[in-house]
Structure 1
């Protein structure tokens, strides 16, 4: 038995989003990580057989214990869908030659000009270095960078954290398990 075989069983007890994590294209890979958290939540060994037996023995109890993981999975799915819709809307505006498509460009340029102005003002002594002002400008510029180029460094750190979590984890929280699974899905 492997982790992907749990997909149907979890869907049958009312946890379709969690079942999808095990049954998707990365089910085996995700299952190895998520399975530890599911097993910990059920209080069994981190093997597909033990998880399956626990679900079969008490489907209602398993559904209750795994409901938090399921809810976090649904929240992350909604977040990813919202992100995809925003990107799709931007593409449609560009394809339609809408002037609104220039909105992100204008905001981006303004953020970088703000940062340059604050750095210049601090460097010339016109503005006292204030951590709040400089921090705001750096945060705005960082947001622009991530909007246009993505946060590949952040994704790498997340992947490293997930890997470390999987190697060192004793009993992860349901939120950690769901976040790990969502991050694995994002990478595919």
Structure 2
């Protein structure tokens, strides 16, 4: 276990703190043996593959020690992806916290997602009826505009449904795992 902590520290010193945190999650905190361990082992496998070594603490440590600058270059894409994912998850958490705050303060704005969803649904129904059930001759330019609006309403309706139903269960589990392991998440 100590070897993973050494590898994590070495990655952090090489300018890759997010990767160091992910690797450190193999042993750290209450999630170390379960979710954290699985994510950490996945990160170790990706790091080992990028460095061209086995995903073991010894091999990673030796590769980084042998060429810290080269390791930083090879692992910078993984580090950037980890930071992007952290930012994305923070944005989702902020949006959820804002919505919860509106509900708790009983603000009228709390109803806006429902109102917008209803308007999107009504627009979709109206465009569906106009395109598929109106028997009158529609000029070509108007038909093209209606078709574009119908496509946009389909996309908006899908987004609204995803807002209310959330993403898939496995995606939610993955987001929770990554959030728990990121530095500063407070959920270690």
Tell me, yes or no, if the aligned pair for 1:15 and 1:63 is still in contact at 8 Å. Answer: yes
Deviation track 1:10-49 (CA, whole Å, cap 9, x = no partner) reads 2232211111122233342123322232122212233333
Paired position in structure 1 for 2:11:
10
Q: 1:17, 1:52 → 2: CA distance?
A: 16
Paired position in structure 1 for 2:107:
98
Q: 1:120 to 1:152 in 2, by over 3 A?
A: same
Q: 1:117, 1:3 → 2: CA distance?
A: 63
2:151 to 131, 135, 138: 135
* Higher relative helix content: 1
The two structures have a TM-score, normalised by structure 2, of: 0.72
1:85 to 94, 100, 103: 94
Cα distance, 1:50 vs structure 2: 1.6
Cα distance, 1:107 vs structure 2: 0.5
The two structures have a TM-score, normalised by structure 1, of: 0.72
Structure of higher CA gyration radius: 2
Determine helix, strand or coil for the equivalent of 1:151.
coil
Tell me, yes or no, if the aligned pair for 1:3 and 1:31 is still in contact at 8 Å. Answer: no
Determine helix, strand or coil for the equivalent of 2:76.
helix
Deviation track 1:94-122 (CA, whole Å, cap 9, x = no partner) reads 11111111211111110111111122222
Paired position in structure 2 for 1:38:
47
Paired position in structure 1 for 2:24:
23
Q: 1:154, 1:124 → 2: CA distance?
A: 39
Greater relative contact order (CA < 8 Å, ≥ 6 in sequence): 1
Residue 170 (structure 2) pairs with residue 185 (structure 1) = no
Cα distance, 1:140 vs structure 2: 0.7
**Structure 2 unaligned spans of 5+:** 26-30, 182-188
Cα distance, 1:60 vs structure 2: 2.9
Determine helix, strand or coil for the equivalent of 2:55.
coil
Cα distance, 1:3 vs structure 2: 8.5
User: Alignment length, in residue pairs?
Assistant: 165
**Structure 1 unaligned spans of 5+:** 160-180
Paired position in structure 2 for 1:175:
none
RMSD: 3.1
